[in-house]
Structure formats: C-alpha cells, structure tokens
Structure 1
Amino acid sequence: MTRIAFLFRCLRAGALGAVLLTTPAIAKEGAPLKEKVIIDTDIGDDIDDAFALAAALNDPRLDILGVTAAWGDTGLRVRQLQRLLTIAGRADIPVAQGPATPNATPYTQKRWAEGQPAPATPVPSSVDFILDQARRYPGQVTLISLAPPSTLGALVDRDPTGFAKLKRVVMMGGSVHAGYDDTGYGPLKGPTPEYNIYSDIPSAKKLFTSGVPLVVMPLDSTQLKLDEVKRDLLFANGTPMTDALALMYHQWRHLNGWGQITPTLFDLVPVAYVLDPKLCPTTPLRLMVGDRGETTPAAGPANAQVCLKEDKEGILDLLMTGLLAQH
C-alpha cells in the first residue's frame, strides 16, 4: 500500500468514525416528542373556549388525540367543534360527545354551530374515547379540561382504574384567594364559587379525590382580558381561523347574558401551561370542594398543583403571535 493510499484510508476511517460517533447523538437529539392531549370543552357558551382551541390547534408542540364536547347541548357542541376543526385544516382530529346535561347558560354561538351539518353517523362517547386513549398510551395523555367536569365525573364512575392511566388533568376551575371581581391590580375581595366547579359539584368532588395528578388554574390566574387593540389585530388578519373567531366573538358579544364586550380568556391558561409551564408556575395545595362549589385550601397532603399567578402578557403573546403568524 502506498503512503498516499494509507493516508486516504485513515481519513475515510476517521470520517466514518465521526459519523458513527455523531449519528446516535443526532437521533437522540431529534425533534422533541409532542405532548399527547385530549381537550374537553363546553365551546359555544362563553367565547374563551374558541380562543383556547385556536391556540392549541395552531401549535405543533401538541399531539391532539381528540376533542370532546362537554356540558349542556353536547350534540350541538360536536357540530361546532367539527366546523372549527375543518376550518383549521384538522378534520382528522376525532370529536367525541360527552353526557348532555341541563344548562341555563345561553349558547351564544348557536347559529355558528348550526352552520355545520349534523354528523351523518354517531360520534363516539367521550367517556369511551378518553378511556381508550388512556389505555393505549398509559401515563402519556394529558386531559385539558375547559368545562364543568361532568365528563370527568362520568369517567371516575365508569372506570377509576382506567381514568388513573391518564398522565394528568390540567384544568380551568376553582377560586382559591381571588374571585370574579378581582382584577389582580388591587386588594383581593376574596374567593367566590367558580362556574365550572359549581355547575357540577358532585363531579368536581370525585375529580379532586380521584388521585389523578391535577394541575389547576383557578380564577386567581385566569382572568386575562382580550382588549380591543388585540381583537382588532386578530380580526383584521383575514385567515380562516381569525375570521371564524371574529364571527363567534360577535355572536357571543350580542347574545351573552353578562352584557360583556371584552372577553376574559379563562380557558387559554391551561393550554398555555401545557405548552410552556413557566407561564403559570404552580404551588402544591390540598383543595377541598365544598357543597356550594367553593375550592378551599385545607391541611394535609397536596392533591393539586395550583397556579395562583400567571404571566398575563406571556400567555396573550402566545395566542397573538401564533394566530398572526398564519397566512
């Protein structure tokens, strides 16, 4: 072998060694795994569910296994979800239907939901769907709860062992130190029963004693206002999603029973937390659900990680930059 051939062979071996050394590292450092989530929502009454879903559907860090309709007219909510998913280009995401319940809250986005034909075939039960996904991916599925916990109570009743296969429940609900009248910019007036909890107190009690890891975003950390400047920026963007949000917003504004103009994006916070936990740091607490729907801290081992103070601007930036980046 000539000296030149020997050197060439050594160089090739060195290059191959470098490849062998770096290839496993590249594979190991590949794209991060997406968070597997199911979103349980009472979309159609208040407007915050629609914005929370828009943020989730727009983010590549989430592997959305399904969206489940909860509380009230769940059949109509299924239609609204199917229409929104189609607009988002995500008609591949399954929609499931939770138990229908009485509901005195106005369905403000009813006309928009009715723009979607009723499903030609029955959609799966939310309880069956969530249990199936929890068994298929044990310890991997985060259930994001944006609604009264009627579906969650039904899950505990049906199969507490299967429910325990969830990784965690990240929920909007409760009131620890702050109530609906607390803006976060002055002295607190004190906690008040929160809508999701007092709407289904028996299911909330089952959830908080289920032993499933809970991450709770109460009124203390969820009163984010989508002001007029941000609304105008979104609604002028002219994408199918922002156009849909504009139509649903105006129906909500006209028909909500609270006379509100500025939406409070309660349900955006759990989605933002799953995407970036730094946006809503948590504190371990033991919360007890009372007979009026109050969620009171108590002595004893923690049963929830609770966010008591959120990064308002960081969460709103996540929504705005994500939706405004679409063309």
Structure 2
Amino acid sequence: MPTSRILAAALLFLLGFHNAPAQAPSPDRVIVDTDIGDDIDDAFAVSLALTSPEISLAGISSSWGDTALRARMIDRMLCETGRDSIAVNAGVPTRTTTTFSQAPWARAGIARTHGDAIAFLLDQIRTHPHQLTLLALGPLTNLGAAIDRDPATFRQLRRVVLMGGSVHRGYGVSNAPPEPEYNIARDPAAAQKLFRSGVPIFMLPLDSTQLKFDEAKRSQLASVSTPLTDSLEVLIAEWSRSSHTPTPTLFDVVAAAYAISPETCPMTPLHIEVDDKGMTLPTEGSPNAQVCLQPHPEALFHLLMPRLLHQHMTGNKVCVARSVD
C-alpha cells in the first residue's frame, strides 16, 4: 500500500477514535451495612442508594440489635420497590436498648431465611478485590467480625464510607463539643480495628451529617405517590410516633450521598484514634481517614430530592405476610 494511503487510513482511524462516543463509567460496586429500623435516616439512605445509577448494589446487610428483623425490613423495602434481586444478609445479632421504631412495618413483611453478612462480604471482596465499597451506616460490629475472620481479605476493600464519629462537634447545636457518636460508641473495639486496618476510610461524622429533612421537604415527599415514597411516608410516621420527633435528621444520607457524589461533602485528611468510650480523636500522625467536616447541603439536596420524587419504581409482588407475627 502506498505511503500516502497508509497515512490517510491512520488519520481516519484516529479521527474515528477521537469522535467515538465516550463510554459511561461502570457503576461502583457497593454493599450497604445498616441498622435500619431505629432512626429513620437509614431508610432514606437505602432509598437514595436504590435510586442512584452511579452505584451497583451487590447486597444490603443488617447490623446491630435484631438483625433478623432488620433483614426482614430490608426485604420488604426491596420487594415494595421491585428490587428484590439484591442480596440481603443478616449480621451479628446483639443486645440493644434502642427502640426499633419501624418494627410494625418490618414485621408485616414476608419472613425469609438470610445468609451470613460476614461471609457474604468477604466472598464479595475475594471476587472483586480492590473494587468494592462498603457503605457502613450502623455500629461497626459486622466490620470488626470480618476483620477478625479474615483481615487480609478485608484489606482488599476499595474503601469504607462511614457515617460515624464526632471530631469537633457533638449532637445538636453547631457549637456542641465532640462526644461519643452512636455508631462508634456501640462497639468501640470494632471501630478501633477498622481505623487500624489500613483500608481507605471516608468518614462522615456528626460535624457534617446533622442536616434536617424539614417541613417543606416532607411536604414535597408527601405530594408524590410511588412505591418508594409511600413506603417512606409510613416509615416516617412510625418513627415520628415512636420518637415524638417530627423532623428527621439525615445522618446516614450524607454518607450515602458522598458514596454517590463526592462533591456533596469535601474531605480533609486526618489521623483518627478511637478510644474505649467511642470518642474519635484527631491526633498527630499520618492520615488514616478522609473526614468531611463541613457538607455542601445544597449539593446534597439537589442529589436527593429528585431521586426520591421522580424515581418510578414498580413493585409487582406480594410483599406483606398474610398474618403479622
């Protein structure tokens, strides 16, 4: 072939390559570990994960307390929204004094057998090394158990995105001093194992997660009827009746939003030590966590609200047991 024709063919190839449509990035593979059913923020966080194409949910695991009933609640959420192909596993059961505010809705779901959350997590890591995000929205007992069972495999997680801790701010008003945060304080030993594991940690503490789902947003949610919004409306009512609180705080939603869109909560590298009371103390040393100290609320609600309001999920199965135990 003459040189001129070779050059022309090469030029056409390069032009075609340059003009080829860019392929969309494949969604991040995520497992959600949640103590859903006590506070209402877990239900919002799971709803956001279900409506976000940026992530592919490999599974949802229950953590802390009555993990069997929590898994049953997750089953019902997935059934109601037509997403029951997602694997549901039960974590380590524990004793707890926290009220399971959404237990009536959970118990009305169909009882199923669930696998071991720890075994499922480790198997997924082995199958997808350095590709899996663990979104931890509850006490860290399941994570501690996975580290105990197979620390080398656990270190092959891509990252842990964690709602937990209190760096400069405690619960309530913005100038409240730091204090042991619930998820860390329930199992400080597990948190210590995580922060010493070497896995990349992206931490969303009380400093950045106390955003309110105010009355205007609740009215927006109530204006739409879909399987997802109808489920959330009932769960909000059960939580509000039990807690005597009208306004949800979206702790876990901030962590879920970060896993989907990092622009919602910029990170600062810190070295975090966890003490035996569950304090997460910033100390001298090489950073072992990226920590969001100040969220971008507008970006978060810009992400959250359209996904809750405009996702037309369709549940097409019977999701409620004939008799409630």
Same fold? TM cut 0.5: yes
Where has structure 1 moved over 3 Å in runs of 4 or more? 16-28
The residue identity in structure 1 corresponding to 2:120 is F
Tell me the distance in 2 between the aligned counterparts of 1:22 and 1:138.
36
Does 2:300 match 1:320?
no
Name the SS for the 1:95 alignment partner: strand
Tell me the distance in 2 between the aligned counterparts of 1:17 and 1:293.
62
Tell me the distance in 1 between the aligned counterparts of 2:157 and 2:92.
20
CA contact (8 A) 2:159 2:201 kept: yes
Q: Structure 1 residue 165: deviation in Å?
A: 0.9
Larger Rg: 1
Tell me the distance in 2 between the aligned counterparts of 1:133 and 1:23.
38
Query: Where do residues 150-229 of structure 1 align in structure 2 (5 Å cutoff)?
Result: 150-182=141-173, 184=174, 188-229=175-216
Tell me the distance in 1 between the aligned counterparts of 2:15 and 2:309.
38
Query: Where do residues 47-86 of structure 1 align in structure 2 (5 Å cutoff)?
Result: 47-86=40-79
Tell me the distance in 2 between the aligned counterparts of 1:55 and 1:308.
22
Tell me the distance in 2 between the aligned counterparts of 1:226 and 1:26.
44
Which string of whole-angstrom CA distances, capped at 9 and with x for unpartnered residues, describes residues 64-111 of structure 1? 100001100000011100110112221110001100001110000001
Find 2:238's aligned residue among 251, 266, 271. Answer: 251
Partner of 2:93: 100
Q: Structure 1 residue 317: deviation in Å?
A: 2.2
Find 1:139's aligned residue among 130, 138, 147. Answer: 130
Uncovered stretches (5+) of structure 2, i.e. residues with no partner: 313-325
Tell me the distance in 1 between the aligned counterparts of 2:300 and 2:123.
32
Which string of whole-angstrom CA distances, capped at 9 and with x for unpartnered residues, describes residues 4-28 of structure 1? xxxxxx9xxx8x8787445545778
Partner of 2:263: 278
The residue identity in structure 1 corresponding to 2:168 is H
Partner of 1:261: 246
Partner of 1:129: 120
RMSD value over aligned CA atoms? 1.8
CA contact (8 A) 1:131 1:163 kept: yes
CA contact (8 A) 1:235 1:245 kept: no
Uncovered stretches (5+) of structure 1, i.e. residues with no partner: 1-9
Tell me the distance in 2 between the aligned counterparts of 1:25 and 1:32.
17
Partner of 2:317: none
Find 2:273's aligned residue among 281, 285, 288. Answer: 288
CA contact (8 A) 2:49 2:256 kept: yes
Which string of whole-angstrom CA distances, capped at 9 and with x for unpartnered residues, describes residues 266-313 of structure 1? 000111111111110101101111121111111111110000000112
Tell me the distance in 2 between the aligned counterparts of 1:69 and 1:24.
46
Tell me the distance in 2 between the aligned counterparts of 1:318 and 1:53.
14
Which string of whole-angstrom CA distances, capped at 9 and with x for unpartnered residues, describes residues 128-177 of structure 1? 10101111111000000000001000011000001011001000000000
CA contact (8 A) 2:38 2:100 kept: yes
Find 1:33's aligned residue among 20, 26, 29. Answer: 26
Name the SS for the 1:86 alignment partner: helix
Which string of whole-angstrom CA distances, capped at 9 and with x for unpartnered residues, describes residues 106-125 of structure 1? 00000100111110xx3211
Tell me the distance in 1 between the aligned counterparts of 2:123 and 2:98.
31
Which string of whole-angstrom CA distances, capped at 9 and with x for unpartnered residues, describes residues 26-80 of structure 1? 7782121111110000000000000011111001111110000110000001110
Q: Structure 1 residue 181: deviation in Å?
A: 2.2
Q: Which moved more, 1:68-77 or 1:310-319?
A: 310-319
The residue identity in structure 1 corresponding to 2:307 is G
The residue identity in structure 1 corresponding to 2:223 is A
Partner of 1:44: 37
Query: Taking structure 2 as the reference length, what is the TM-score of the superposition?
Result: 0.90
Name the SS for the 1:169 alignment partner: strand
Tell me the distance in 2 between the aligned counterparts of 1:66 and 1:22.
42
Change (3 A) 1:240 1:290: same
Tell me the distance in 2 between the aligned counterparts of 1:125 and 1:28.
42
Tell me the distance in 2 between the aligned counterparts of 1:125 and 1:77.
13
Tell me the distance in 1 between the aligned counterparts of 2:68 and 2:75.
11
Partner of 1:236: 223
Name the SS for the 2:251 alignment partner: coil
Find 1:308's aligned residue among 282, 293, 300. Answer: 293
Query: Taking structure 1 as the reference length, what is the TM-score of the superposition?
Result: 0.90
Partner of 2:105: 112
- The structure with higher relative contact order (CA 8 Å, sep 6+) is 2
Question: How many matched pairs?
Answer: 307
